[in-house]
Amino acid sequence: MKVLLDQDSCVASGQCVMAAPDVFDQRDEDGIAVLLDDTPGADAADGVRQAAAICPALAIAVQD
Amino acid sequence: MSAGSVLVVGASAAGLATAEALRRKGFTGRLTLLDAEPHRPYDRPPLSKQYLAGDWDADRIRLRTSTVDDALVVGEAAVGLDAATRTVRTATRRTLTADAVVVATGLRPRTLPGRPDLAGVRVLRSLDDATALRAELAAARRVVVVGDGVLAAEIAATARRSGAEVTMAGPQPAPLADQLGPLAAGLLADLHTARGVRLRLGTAVAEVVADRGRATGVRLADGETLPADLVVVAIGALPATDWLAGSGLRIDDGVVCDERCVAAPGIYAAGDVARWYHPGLGRLVRLENRTNATEQGIAVAGAILGADRPYAPVPYMWTDQYDARIQVHGRPAADAEVTVTDGAVADGRFVAVYRHAGRPSAVLGWNMPRQARLRRADVAAAYAGESRPEGAR
């Protein structure tokens, strides 16, 4: 699984961090999401798909 | 229950999330995603911001539909539902029946009484609304935004960027006062004033005044008239349930649902239109925000596929106005006790916790998204139902 994050679209909601805390974090200064791991393992897959689905800015894409 | 066929009425964020989640969770039955608007699904939050400002075009706000393209039917309004047989009638006189029907028709904007057809008066809900408003904003010299909520404040902020003279008029003492309480609302008032928006708040708007079919301003309840060549009415919205008259569903400020978002056997509701029993709060709630639309759509998809899980989210909303990014986890009450826990108001970056009867009920972040999210855990208990499963947000 490959995760793509568009920081220009991110609205810093942090929903992705709640869905997949091992894959996403937020910058301290402005809350914009950052990728901790752009090729997470199978155990993180459900959380990452959930993050991509709930991101209110459509900033996360997943490639299998 | 596990359904063989699903009809989702409304292809905005909630309906689309339902359909996508059904497919993602392995649903292989017949799926139809119906929408009244002629457009493919698009996202609404940018309509009052990037799209209205002209920074983003319509392509940029398209929602992803690749997994449900085959199910999508646009430009065909649902005009009636028979809940007992789960049959939907459409404006083209088709009847569609499914094992599960999801109502996700969202909202329609409130308008001021009388004269809805005046030129120079706009509302903002749909892409077409935003496109029309964007064109008129570009030419407007004096804009009055009627309303004092999130949408009104965002429109005022965007309109100000186009160089027009902008006045915001509404009954509250400050923008979002009921929603956020005096501290944050006062800061928002200062922010709008500093950016040149004139606030004429604390007085209701009585009517739009017009000359020869075109708006020339608004008259306030105290008698003053604010001249305008463009009036934007953003005084809230109503659940789009007109088409459900006679359906057999209980309609009361939205489609009334149980804690699993079930309105009647085989009938579900999601998003702005759904008023469901929140087990953590112990009452019916209806949330008009973007993240709820998606989360509730995903929850409804789970329910259709047989998950037995109440829907008990911590509400979340955000608004961007000028350079302020405001995020709220939970539901603040205007009379809550507010404590700044991180940062400082004077620095323009802070987190505030709202307490009711000593118990944290909401967290507001002002240009401090990460820190606000970390404080969210403090309020989550206020929304957790006893029957809420582990790991559900």
Q: What is the pLDDT of residues B201-229, one digit of tens each?
A: 999 999 999 999 999 999 999 999 999 99
Alpha helix stretches (DSSP H) within B199-329:
290-304
**Which chain A residue has its CA at the smallest distance from B20's CA?**
A53
Quote the CA–CA distance of B108 and B238 in Å, as a whole number: 5
**Average of per-residue pLDDT values in chain B:** 95
Across the interface, of B43, B45, B370, the residue whose CB is closest to A26 is B370
Residue B128's φ and ψ, nearest 5 degrees, are -65, -40
The verdict on residue B215 lying in a domain is yes
Calpha distance B153→B84 (Å, rounded): 42
pLDDT in tens, B371-386: 999 999 999 988 996 4
Residues B229 and B248 in one domain: no
- For residue B99 the two structure tokens come to 């094992």
B156 and B80 fall within a common domain: no
Say yes or no to pLDDT of B56 above 80.
yes
Q: Are residues B201 and B349 in the same domain?
A: no
Q: Which domain holds residue B12?
A: 5-108+238-304
* Residues B170 and B229 placed together within one structural domain of the fold: yes
C-alpha B307/C-alpha B300 separation (Å) is 9
Decide if B392 is inside a domain: no
* pLDDT score at B385: 62
Q: Are strands B316-321 and B324-330 parallel, antiparallel or unpaired?
A: antiparallel
Closest chain A C-alpha to B233 CA, distance in angstroms:
25
Same domain for B158 and B221, yes or no, is yes
Which residues of chain B make contact with A17, given a CB cutoff of 8 A?
373
Q: How confident is the model at residue B350 (pLDDT cuts 50, 70, 90)?
A: very high
CB contact under 8 A, B369 and A54: no
Q: How far is CA B385 from the centre of its chain?
A: 24
Give the E-state strand segments of A6-51 in sequence order. Answer: 24-26, 33-35
Provide DSSP, B248-307.
S--BSSSEEE-TTSEEETTEEE-GGGEEEEETTTTEEE---SHHHHHHHHHHHHHHHTT-
Over range B132-140, report the average pLDDT: 96
Complex confidence, ipTM: 0.94
CATH code, domain with B344: 3.30.390.30
Strand order of the β-sheet with B165-170 is B121-122, B230-233, B142-146, B165-170, B198-201
Q: Considering B218, B235, B252, which residue would you say is the last residue of a domain?
A: B235
Residue B245 placed within a domain: yes
- Determine the Cα–Cα distance for residues B298 and B321; give it in Å rounded to an integer: 29
Q: Which residues of B touch A14 (CB under 8 A)?
A: 369-370, 372-373
Q: Check whether residue B132 and residue B102 sit in a common domain.
A: no
User: Is B379 found in the same domain as B274?
Assistant: no
Do B79 and B192 have their domain in common? no
- pLDDT at residue B392 tops 80: no
Residue among B291, B320, B373 minimizing CB distance to A17:
B373
Is residue B390 situated within a structural domain? no
Indicate if the pLDDT at residue B389 is higher than 60. no
Tell me, yes or no, if A63 comes closer than 8 A to chain B by beta carbon: no
DSSP lists the bridge partners of residue B227 as: B217
Does B137 share its domain with B283? no
Token pair for B242: 């007109």
Pairs of residues, one from chain A and one from chain B, whose beta carbons lie less than 8 Å apart: 62
Q: Is residue B310 part of a domain?
A: no
- Tell me the torsion sign for CA atoms A63, B5, B11, B13: negative
Spell out the domains of chain A, with CATH numbers in brackets. 2-63 (3.30.70.20)
Distance CA A61, CA B177 (A): 37
Q: Supply the CATH number for residue B134's domain.
A: 3.50.50.60
B78 and B44: one domain? yes
pLDDT band of B98, cuts 50, 70, 90: very high
Residue whose structure tokens are 């940029």: B60
- B388: confidence class by pLDDT, cuts 50, 70, 90: very low
Distances (CA, A) of B121 to B31, B64, B132, B224, B361: 39, 32, 11, 19, 38
How many Cα atoms sit within 13 Å of B291 on the Cβ side?
25
Domain count, chain B: 3
Both B210 and B351 in one domain: the answer is no
Task: Please check whether residue B28 lies inside any domain of the structure.
Answer: yes
| A44 and A7 Cβ atoms separated by less than 8 Å | no
Burial group, residue B169, by CB count within 10 angstroms (0-12, 13-18, 19+): buried
Q: Give the pLDDT of residue B23.
A: 97
Residue B263 inside a domain? The answer is yes
Q: Across residues A37-59, what is the average pLDDT?
A: 95
End position of a domain, from candidates B181, B210, B235: B235
**Based on the domain organization, do B97 and B115 belong to the same domain?**
no
Q: Quick check: is B393 in a domain?
A: no
Instruction: Quote the CA–CA distance of B376 and B342 in Å, as a whole number.
Output: 13
The CA distance from B6 to B103, in Å, is: 11
pLDDT of residue B224: 96
Taking each continuous run of H as one helix and of E as one strand, the counts in chain B are 7, 27
Residues in B 33-62 with any Cβ partner in A closer than 8 A? 43, 45
Domain finish residue from B235, B251, B282: B235
> Residues of chain B with pLDDT > 90: what percent?
92
Q: Please indicate if any CB of chain A lies within 8 Å of the CB of B318.
A: yes
pLDDT band with cut points at 50, 70 and 90 for residue B162 = confident
